[in-house]
Amino acid sequence: MIIKDNYAIAEHDRTQYVFMPGQMVDVELLKVREGEKVEIDKVVLIKIGDKLEIGQPHVKKAKITCTVVLHGRDKKIEGFKYEAKSRHRKNFGHKQHFTRLKVDSIELGENKVLAEAKTTATKGKKKKVAKKRASTSRSKILKKMTKTTSKKIVKKIAKKVPAKKSATRKVAKKAPSKRVSKRKVTKKAIKKSTEKATKK
């Protein structure tokens, strides 16, 4: 990572952080109230202009001043414990506490770099641009939503409304023919036929 601007690398709670004037840095939890100032002396490396100094282990007469913006908790990290053949399963979560610092200045002896006033103006512009982008993106999303919802509604209506049945012509039922089938023979006809046969 190549940084052209003024910056410093300092230690805090066994971890190293990059501090640049005017920027926010999330650090391990500090027992300091919001709005108060904090000074960090354990500077490992510092660059101001063309000067670059590396500490052995720390740079002498180097100091970083910050203001505490807020105390918060990081995103939840979920864990799972499992032991074979013992029916032991356990879910757990963890949210790490942190303190957000705003870097006010970086000092190296007489040299001092303050947070520029331009950064605030640019931040305001960035916020406005972000709001405009958010509004445009929301309008696009709403348009898409309306299109999709209208299509879904049309489909539902089409399902509910039954399709028109084709007009079926009513065919008049034909009267039964007077002809008697061979199978349908009455008992009287059978009696007559038997009587004739006996007489003969």
Q: Which of 46-50, 131-135, 140-144, 164-168 has the highest mean pLDDT?
A: 46-50
Whole-angstrom distance, CA of residue 47 vs CA of residue 10? 12
- Model confidence at 59: pLDDT above 70: yes
Q: Across the strands, what pairs with 66?
A: 38, 103
- Model confidence at 180: pLDDT above 60: no
pLDDT 10s digits, 78-109:
999 999 999 999 999 999 999 999 999 998 88
- Model confidence at 1: pLDDT above 60: no
Mean pLDDT of 48-54: 87
Whole-angstrom distance, CA of residue 71 vs CA of residue 28? 10
Mean pLDDT of 184-196: 69
pLDDT 10s digits, 64-74:
999 999 999 99
Mean pLDDT of 122-128: 51
Task: Provide the b/e sequence for 70-100 (b: ≥16 CB within 10 Å).
Answer: eeeeeeeeeeeeeeeeeeeeeeeeeeeebbb
Q: Across the strands, what pairs with 47?
A: 7, 52
Residue 28 · residue 13 · CB < 8 Å: yes
Whole-angstrom distance, CA of residue 22 vs CA of residue 117? 9
Average pLDDT across the chain, whole number = 77
pLDDT of residue 2: 54
């999330």: which residue's tokens?
A: 26
Token code pair at residue 17: 């952080």
pLDDT of residue 147: 63
Residue 24 · residue 32 · CB < 8 Å: no
Mean pLDDT of 193-199: 72
Gyration radius (Cα) of the chain, Å: 45
Mean pLDDT of 131-156: 62
Mean pLDDT of 189-194: 74
